[in-house]
Amino acid sequence: MKISIVGAGISGLATAQAILARKPGAEITIFESGERIGGKVWTESSADGYLCEGGVNGFLDKIPRTLELCQEAGVSPVRADASAQKRYVFSRGELHKLPEKPPEFLKSRLLSVPGRLRVIYETIAGGTDNPDETLGQFATRRLGKEAYERLIDPMASGVFAGDASKLSLKSCFPRIHEIETEYGSLIRGLIRLQMKAKREGKQNTPGPGPGGTLTSFANGMSALTDSLAEQLGSRIRISTAVKDISRNGNRYQLQLENNEVEESDVLILAAPAHAQANMLQAMDSDLAGLLGEIQYPALSVCCLGYRKSQVGQVLDGFGFLIPSKEQRAILGTIVDSNVFPGRAPEDSILLRSMVGGARTPELALLPDEQLIDKVRSDLQDIVGLTAEPDFIRIFRHTRAIPQYLVGHAARLRTIDEKLQRHPGLVLTGNAFKGVSLNDCVVNAWKTAEALVPQP
């Protein structure tokens, strides 16, 4: 059985590795249109000692399969500094530390007293008949408008670079949807789940956050994809774009841009949904149309390095997010040099700010000078940073993170129906069932299980 995988991001690489783990002799070829592997995993080191993540900055160490993949790839995870648990939200002209425990929440000035009381009311807030609420509708209904604007809205920007008034709750955060459905309240549900975990002797009890510790590698996230690529070796063909896909009997034909034609028994598309749509247009325009509906707003990642002697400690902890109500250019900023060791020279700090996303995609595509001016203006207002940066690196993603908008689940069901007409064709990647690296790794393993069942 000959297997072709299109896309050498984490989804394509992890899928190939998972198949080979189950069937070492599998005949696999991975086609990558770009000159580098890794997709949205994109680490660069500068000559003067800065290590920048242009995309994924880490993963939560709560998923065993991802940790197993790290072991198989021969890379050792590095946990974020404990101070990275300290995170902030910029609201009404000041930074507010996100509460980590209930007593902190009651004292926090991020929400007004009525706003905090409204959150407590969540235990008896009403349900809904809407089968596919937006994140904004859900948060306002259960937690109140103020909590939505100052907590949930910036969280949506931080995870998806998305617009919480359009994102689907059950597609973006299915576990939250399940807890409300099962227990009728998030707070009551979490309390019961925590009690159950204690009875069962589990050390990690469920909390309001996603759980786990942020984790990366000493040389950045590309250490994982680079190691996987090294193991896969000549199976990967970079700078080899697939132009069209067709069927020839029971086999798939891949028309490459260099006019070569490759055939395979199983075809796994692990490229972004819009790229999959282009490849499938001639073979199945209906399926291509569904894939093309998945939106990817533009996003720029702006890395700025400063000498400590000029700026001191700009901010302790991980960084901050900004609610859309504040109407700032940046979505948020991570102090990378606080989070993982080796991200900046000893005498320097490194900040990474995100601009654009669903909120203001046009800002992500501004010329370099205008983009940096907007970032520096916001940093000056928020953390008092007036010094000229010693280091600047901009990563641009004209199509960044796929948006799971209302209707996403229904679209996936229709896509699955269309795929019944194409046995041996598999669609995977972060456009479907989870945008995180953990999601991609787990879905890669599920793909391998379906294709190569263990005896």
Give per-residue pLDDT as tens, 344-390.
999 999 999 999 999 999 999 999 999 999 999 999 999 999 999 99
Structure tokens given for 352: 């990474």
**Distances from the Cα of 50 to the Cαs of 300, 350, 374, 405, in angstroms?**
18, 7, 22, 36
Structure tokens given for 92: 């009404």
102 has a pLDDT exceeding 90: no
Three-state SS for 231? helix
3 has a pLDDT exceeding 90: yes
454 has a pLDDT exceeding 80: no
Question: Mean pLDDT, to the nearest integer, of 38-54?
Answer: 96
115 has a pLDDT exceeding 90: yes
Grade residue 391 by pLDDT with cuts at 50, 70 and 90.
very high
Percent of the chain topping pLDDT 70: 98
Mean pLDDT of the chain: 95
- Residues forming beta bridges with residue 394, ordered by sequence position: 302
110 has a pLDDT exceeding 70: yes
How does DSSP classify residue 89? E
Grade residue 209 by pLDDT with cuts at 50, 70 and 90.
low
392 has a pLDDT exceeding 90: yes
- Class of CATH domain 111-199: mainly alpha
Domain positions in the chain are 2-40+63-73+221-295+404-451, 111-199, 297-397
Q: Is the full-model pTM beyond 0.75?
A: yes
CATH number of 2-40+63-73+221-295+404-451: 3.50.50.60
Percent of the chain topping pLDDT 90: 90
Give per-residue pLDDT as tens, 258-298.
999 999 999 999 999 999 999 999 999 999 999 999 999 99
Find the helix packing angle between 135-143 and 174-183, rounded to 10°. 40
Give per-residue pLDDT as tens, 169-199.
999 999 999 999 999 999 999 889 888 878 8
- What is the per-residue pLDDT for 195? 87
Grade residue 239 by pLDDT with cuts at 50, 70 and 90.
very high
Grade residue 105 by pLDDT with cuts at 50, 70 and 90.
confident
Find the helix packing angle between 285-292 and 273-280, rounded to 10°. 160
The answer to whether 429 touches 412, Cβ cutoff 8 Å, is no
313 has a pLDDT exceeding 90: no
207 has a pLDDT exceeding 70: no
Equal fold, 111-199 vs 297-397: no
Q: Does domain 297-397 fall into CATH 3.30.565.10?
A: no
Q: Which residues are within 8 A (CB) of 396 and not within 5 positions of it... i.e. 6 or more apart?
A: 298, 300, 364, 365
CB neighbourhood size of 33 (10 A): 18
